[in-house]
Chain A
């Protein structure tokens, strides 16, 4: 079965420290992987994606993500967290065989404290 898992409901980090938000996936075919951010009462905003190529993907607002095929993971990272990064983060995967199917993780709330 296709799925996306975000094992942490919440991640707490101090401003200036590096952050990691974890995501693992299970999907048939080659996965198309995505990260989105959602601020309160707003829609989801696209951050970055992995389609093919370099395993380290750079995206908006200084975020990057590392694709690891052997561990079926796509963790979101940022070298230095900002208080304004506090939001809900969703990992998503598009099925490589059935492009209509788009699966989202349960979301991870990131709290960055001053």
Chain B
């Protein structure tokens, strides 16, 4: 168990709909990353937050947005869903950026599998 919790584990919805994926990082981790993994694909970096602030942005569509709340949990919002958005969405966390205790690795949740019909 990595300590990173993602909900829901599975989600089935229709095209055009909107969903919210939730992530609770490991206790003490300030940094949250979101990744998308489509079938037989590698990991596509979407966005990263550190202590509530957006710090890095990857190939995230305009239909997607995210935020990190004061309690450090994060949500990824996906709207106007298309068939091609079906994928596994992973959240990962790490200790504070630049801190002396920063060992560098990311800790991944089990993912949220989104199916758009």
Residues on A lying within 8 angstroms of B by beta carbon are 32, 34, 36, 41-46, 49, 51, 90, 92, 94, 99-107
Contacts and interface: CB of A to CB of B under 8 A. Distances in A.
A32 B56 contact: no
B110 A42 contact: yes
Interface range on chain B (Cβ under 8 Å from partner): 20 to 34
A52 B70 CA distance: 34
A34 B108 contact: no
Contacts of B45: 102-104
B102 interface: yes
Nearest to A51: B104
Contact of A100 (B35, B56, B109): B56
B97 interface: yes
Contacts of B103: 49, 51
B97 A43 contact: no
Contacts of B31: 100
Contacts of B113: 41
Contacts of A45: 2, 108
Interface string B73-117: 000000000000000101010000110001111111111010000
